């Protein structure tokens, strides 16, 4: 049965600031050893995960908010994750779930998404699979052999949820020294071989597990972004299939403008702090809860307290002196000069800066249109890349990709 995506929390622009997103690190366990992981030091503490009862108290005290961002560790290693998601759906009326995964546990991902769609029918689920490069490049960057497993997960997601508009299928690629040379080829191959909603390219952020993996500069990131821009016009066209002409145009404007605006802010802040051109709303509209019960205003800032010291009461945490001091220190970014490249916070902050956001979208959309060029994503080129990067076509065929 076909369903449409409606009611996303990003569809509503507002200036009044209140809790909109909780970033829940569901577990400190992971089945990969990613070279660029910014959370490796935290996971190495091997503290116990918050229990289901502790998370239940947090949910019951939070009130309504729009978006639950899952994180980790690897979220699929948390056995009671579907129960946790249902908890927030029932208690907090969430509209959107962001579900990142390395794609290793294919069957679990498929079965859990089916359960979430049944028990949380009015919620959009963005399932984002980490996919960093061709074959061995991906495996080297992720620290475990998982390229073909991630590819199978992506193929299964398309097969199982092809007509479900509330399951948004994404690919996230982090650019490092390992994959920078093949990033644009990989974008072409991904677009040609997988039916996903979008493919985001990320700069490694924070303190990485492996030293020296960050190789991008502002100039090189802008170059990649400019060359990748035409793919976002193609993704917008893919999303707009079946829509009226007016909705197609509107979707293209917001989709292309939003990603270009986010990428522009990222590039400007890669080498040195640079103003976003809008307030950062970390701590006002966002709460990060670590797997062990510490909390923060932003993933890239230090913890400022423990949820147990506030009786697991989210409202008390958001109104606490510790959070007020952190918001004051951040100063919407201006005072702390902590402008970052974190797409989640850029996106969330845009929502609460509506006038500036629209201005950014208009400019960014125009830039992307000017960068448009014909793209060659033919079967001949796709096969050529599979040969060039030594992919096993028998394995790809067994998965159903070729």
DSSP state of 21: E
Angstrom distances, CA of residue 275 to CA of 47, 202, 337: 36, 19, 8
The full 3-state SS of 30-87, as one line of letters, equals CCCCCCCCCCHHHHCCCCCCCCHHHHHHHHHHHCCCCEEEEECCCHHHCCCHHHHHHH
For residue 200, tell me if it sits in a domain: yes
Q: What is the pLDDT of residues 256-303, one digit of tens each?
A: 999 999 999 989 988 888 888 888 899 999 999 999 999 999 988 899
| Residue appearing with tokens 């800066």 | 353
For residue 11, tell me if it sits in a domain: no
Integer Cα distance of 30 and 97 in angstroms:
20
Half-sphere exposure of 148 (CA within 13 A, CB side): 14
Query: ∠ CA(22), CA(28), CA(34), 5° rounding?
Result: 100
Q: What is the pLDDT of residues 333-388, one digit of tens each?
A: 887 766 677 788 888 888 888 888 899 999 999 999 999 999 989 999 999 999 99
- What is the full per-residue pLDDT of the chain (402 aa) written as tens digits? 466 655 444 445 556 789 999 999 999 999 999 999 989 989 988 899 999 999 999 999 999 999 999 999 999 999 999 999 999 999 999 999 999 999 999 999 999 999 999 999 999 999 999 999 999 999 999 999 999 999 999 999 999 999 999 999 999 999 999 999 999 999 999 999 999 999 999 888 888 999 999 999 999 999 999 999 999 999 999 999 989 999 999 999 999 999 999 999 989 988 888 888 888 899 999 999 999 999 999 988 899 999 999 999 999 999 999 999 999 998 888 877 666 777 888 888 888 888 888 999 999 999 999 999 999 899 999 999 999 999 999 999 999 999
Integer Cα distance of 47 and 44 in angstroms:
8
Pairing state of beta strands 124-130 and 167-175? parallel
Domain total in the chain: 1
User: Dihedral of the CA atoms 230, 363, 181, 220 (nearest 10)?
Assistant: 160
Integer Cα distance of 70 and 124 in angstroms:
13
Which range of residues forms the domain containing residue 87?
19-399
For residue 88, tell me if it sits in a domain: yes
Residue 318's CATH number: 3.20.20.70
Give the burial class of 390: count Cβ atoms within 10 A of its Cβ; 0-12 exposed, 13-18 middle, 19 or more buried: exposed
For residue 2, tell me if it sits in a domain: no
Give the burial class of 125: count Cβ atoms within 10 A of its Cβ; 0-12 exposed, 13-18 middle, 19 or more buried: buried
Query: ∠ CA(39), CA(43), CA(47), 5° rounding?
Result: 140
For residue 383, tell me if it sits in a domain: yes
Integer Cα distance of 397 and 402 in angstroms:
5
For residue 272, tell me if it sits in a domain: yes
Alpha carbon 306 to chain centroid distance?
A: 25
Quote the tokens at residue 310: 């506030």
Integer Cα distance of 193 and 65 in angstroms:
36
Q: DSSP string spanning 256-325?
A: HHHHHHHHHHHHHTSSS----SS---TTTTEEEE-TTSEEESSTTS---EEGGGGTT-HHHHHTSHHHHH
Angstrom distances, CA of residue 234 to CA of 187, 339, 373, 374: 12, 30, 11, 10
For residue 4, tell me if it sits in a domain: no
Sequence-ordered list of residues with C-beta below 8 angstroms from that of 220, at least 6 positions apart, any chain: 180
Integer Cα distance of 378 and 182 in angstroms:
18
Sequence-ordered list of residues with C-beta below 8 angstroms from that of 143, at least 6 positions apart, any chain: 32, 33, 34, 35
For residue 393, tell me if it sits in a domain: yes
Closest C-alpha to 186, from 402, 386, 25:
386
pTM for this one? 0.93
Query: ∠ CA(359), CA(362), CA(365), 5° rounding?
Result: 140
């Amino acid at each position: 049965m076909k369903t449409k995506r409606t009611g996303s929390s990003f569809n509503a622009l507002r200036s009044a600031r209140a809790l909109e997103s909780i970033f829940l690190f569901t577990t400190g366990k992971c089945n990969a050893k990613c070279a660029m992981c910014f959370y490796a030091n935290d996971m190495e503490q091997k503290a116990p995960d918050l229990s289901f009862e502790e998370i239940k108290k947090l949910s019951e005290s939070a009130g309504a908010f729009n978006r639950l961002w899952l994180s980790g560790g690897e979220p699929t290693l948390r056995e009671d994750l579907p129960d946790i998601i249902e908890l927030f759906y029932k208690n907090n009326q969430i509209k959107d779930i962001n579900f990142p995964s390395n794609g290793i546990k294919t069957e679990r991902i498929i079965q859990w998404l089916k359960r979430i769609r049944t028990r949380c029918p009015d919620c959009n689920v963005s399932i984002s699979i980490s996919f960093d490069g061709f074959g061995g490049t991906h495996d080297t960057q992720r620290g475990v052999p998982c390229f073909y497993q991630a590819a199978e997960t992506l193929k299964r997601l398309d097969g199982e949820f092809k007509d479900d508009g509330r399951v948004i299928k994404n690919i996230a690629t982090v650019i490092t020294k390992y994959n920078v040379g093949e990033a644009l080829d990989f974008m072409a191959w991904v677009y040609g071989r997988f039916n996903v909603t979008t493919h985001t390219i990320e700069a490694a952020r924070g303190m990485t597990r492996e030293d020296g993996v960050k190789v991008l500069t502002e100039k090189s990131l802008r170059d990649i972004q400019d060359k990748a821009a035409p793919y976002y016009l193609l993704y917008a066209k893919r999303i707009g299939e079946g829509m009226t002409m007016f909705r197609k145009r509107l979707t293209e404007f917001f989709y292309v403008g939003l990603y270009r605006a986010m990428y522009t802010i990222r590039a400007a802040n890669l080498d040195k702090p640079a103003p976003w051109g809008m307030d950062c709303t970390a701590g006002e509209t966002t709460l990060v809860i670590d797997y062990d019960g510490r909390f923060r205003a932003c993933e890239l800032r230090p913890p400022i307290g423990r949820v147990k010291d506030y009786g697991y009461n989210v409202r008390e945490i958001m109104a606490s002196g510790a959070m007020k001091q952190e918001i004051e220190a951040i100063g919407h970014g201006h005072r702390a000069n902590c402008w970052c490249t974190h797409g989640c916070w850029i996106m969330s902050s845009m929502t609460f800066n509506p006038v500036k956001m629209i201005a950014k979208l208009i400019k960014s959309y125009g830039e992307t249109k000017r960068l448009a060029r014909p793209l060659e994503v033919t079967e001949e080129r796709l096969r050529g890349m599979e040969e060039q990067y030594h992919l096993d076509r028998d394995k790809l065929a067994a998965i159903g990709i070729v």
